[in-house]
């Protein structure tokens, strides 16, 4: 865990954040190792650092687009139980079943 915290707090003067680059590099190393073990035709990228940098740039671009989309104003809506109109009755129900066929319900 110390190793993870250390890498999450490194300041790095680059166009990408170190923690993004580091996380993507860890994921790539894990992925490449599994591909090498399970896929005899797999070849690791020749320029691994550049490949990780490319993926990190793509991640940042996608994250920035997502932030632009989520900046649209949102309105909080309170959802709560409301009593029925006069002369009406509300009945809440629920049910579930298991794979073995057992089922239950409630009202």
Residue 66 maps to a domain: yes
| In-domain check, residue 47 | yes
Task: Give the total number of structural domains in the chain.
Answer: 1
- Between 66-70, 95-99, 100-104, the lowest mean confidence (pLDDT) is in 66-70
**Domain annotation covers residue 96:** no
Nearest to 35 by CA among 44, 27, 26: 44
Q: Judge whether 14 lies within some domain.
A: yes
Look at residue 101 and tell me if it is in a domain: no
Per-residue pLDDT at 67 exceeds 80: no
Range of the domain at 33: 2-70
**Residue 14's pLDDT band (boundaries 50, 70, 90)?**
confident
pTM attached to this predicted model:
0.56
What pLDDT band is residue 68 in, cutting at 50, 70 and 90?
low
Alpha helices in 1-107 (DSSP H): 2-8, 18-38, 48-70
Tell me whether residue 107 is in a domain.
no
Contacts of 46 (CB under 8 A, 6+ apart): none
Residue 56 predicted with pLDDT over 70: yes
Residue 91 lies in a domain: no
Q: Specify if 75 maps to a domain.
A: no
């Amino acid at each position: 865990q110390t190793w993870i915290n250390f890498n999450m707090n490194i300041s790095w003067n680059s166009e990408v954040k170190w923690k993004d680059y580091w996380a993507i590099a860890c994921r790539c190393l894990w992925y490449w190792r599994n591909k090498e073990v399970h896929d005899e035709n797999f070849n690791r990228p020749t320029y691994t650092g550049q490949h990780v940098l490319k993926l990190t740039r793509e991640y940042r671009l996608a994250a920035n687009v997502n932030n632009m989309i989520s900046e649209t104003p949102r309105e909080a809506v309170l959802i709560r139980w409301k009593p029925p109109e006069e002369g009406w009755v509300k009945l809440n129900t629920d049910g579930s079943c298991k794979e073995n066929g057992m089922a239950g319900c409630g009202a």
